[in-house]
Amino acid sequence: MFSLIKLPRVFSVHQVPRAFQEDSIISGYRHPRSSATDCVLSLFQLTNETLNVWTHFLPTWYFLWKLLTVVFMQDVWSDAYSWPLLVYLLSCCVYPLASSCAHTFSSMSMRARHVCFFFDYGALSLYSLGSAITYSAYVMPDAWVNGPFHTYYIPVAVFNTALCTTMACYSRFPEFQRPKLSKVLRVSAFTYPYLFDNIPLFYRIFLCVGEGCTVNEANSFHVYHTLLAFLTGFLFATHLPERLAPGRFDYIGHSHQLFHVCGIIGTHFQMQAIEVDMKRRRPWLLAHAPAITLGGTVGPAALSSLLSLGIIYVFSRPLFPGPAPRTELRKGSENEVESTHHDATADTEHTAKLVLLLWCASPLQHLNGREAPPWPWLPVSRTPNAIYDFGAPRAATELTALTGEEPAGNLEQHPPSRLGCDACPAVDGSVTGVEH
């Protein structure tokens, strides 16, 4: 039966658009216009995204099992003390599921890629807040309970989710014009909420001495989680080991896969530490800590989710401008083009061929033919990347092969790109790319 299923073809780095390339990953790329079916089928063949999906999809079921165990084995509906744990476990289910879906369907189109990872960032922000809610309820040092920091801890964590989701989503747009800014924004969007959430934990483990330090067997699990968290951040920021040997870790062992594995193991240790603190400190916390309410647990999580969805909508809306633009020749000028809003499916055969040519030729193909970036303050480079520059004669040959007609005008200004152009040949060039 499996022999009847045709698996999608994979491509090298020089055959896909720059926006789909990953740093120091040479091969194993999926088609940038894959169908949803092709995306799902690609999970059962070896690509550079296969393990990215499975390293988060399988742990989702483990975290779901943990959640259901708590729901059915404890009296969660009447025991408010367990509500923070439920919010945390739910966030632990959401973030790997969103990540696996993003890695699965990100090759459907440029717009799909952006939107998929917008949801991925929103899910990570929710997980950050889930951690903060449980830390406020179970992990806060005795000396800090009911103090000023404890009072404002959750409101600040909610604000951080909105701020960091915004930073992460925005970081996707200046990746080509200002790659260093994009990198700093994305790393900061993941690092800052972790550091803030763990302030009480860092104080409890590394700084506190004497009474009120909450020393118990959970501290060792907290240390394991902290070490894995820093290792996770190191892998995400440095792209090791593939930077040391480009092409050697394309399918197995590159930094994003290790990033996923370390993150999941770190979450496992974090979960164990929270469960130990929850059980060992229950009598003392019920007597001294503020009462746990829906407004202090489910409320912040719901508010954070709404804020993240709103932010995702704001960043996604400009990517869907409505009807696709039609490009046609002006009268009296052979080389100038103008855009009119018209459904491309209603074009004549000649205009459809011209649209194909301009799509392959335009350096702005990742914006679907629009002449402006999604936000007016982001400049768009009009100079195509050198990896796509074939020269006018070769481009003219490719146009003839695609359309059956001789090209009009000079294509030297607009060398073809890889996106949506299977007939365009592969060429050698520098290995560049952007990370998720």
User: Any known ligand binding at 103?
Assistant: yes
> What would you measure as the largest C-alpha separation in the chain, in angstroms?
86
Within 8 A by CB and 6+ apart from 349, the residues are none
Give the pairing of strands 29-30 and 333-341. Answer: unpaired
CA gap 133, 301 in Å, rounded: 9
| DSSP sequence for 224-242 | HHHHHHHHHHHHHHH-TTT
User: Any known ligand binding at 260?
Assistant: yes
User: Any known ligand binding at 14?
Assistant: no
Integer-rounded Cα Rg, in Å, for the chain is 25
Look up tokens 């951040």; give the residue.
Answer: 233
Asked if residue 83 lies in contact with residue 105, where contact means CB atoms within 8 angstroms, the answer is: no
CA gap 175, 325 in Å, rounded: 25
DSSP state of 198: T
Within 8 A by CB and 6+ apart from 26, the residues are 12, 13, 246, 247, 250, 431
Calculate the CA 259 to chain-centre distance.
13
Nearest by Cα to 431 from 74, 144, 58, 13: 13
Give the pairing of strands 325-330 and 29-30. Answer: unpaired
Look up tokens 């018209």; give the residue.
Answer: 342
Q: Is the dihedral of CA 244, 22, 171, 270 positive or negative?
A: negative
CA gap 25, 52 in Å, rounded: 13
Within 8 A by CB and 6+ apart from 294, the residues are 83
Nearest by Cα to 308 from 186, 131, 162: 162
CA gap 235, 232 in Å, rounded: 5
Rounded to 5 degrees, φ, ψ at 342 are: -155, 145
Binding site per annotation, positions for Zn(2+): 103, 256, 260
Binding site per annotation, positions: 103, 256, 260
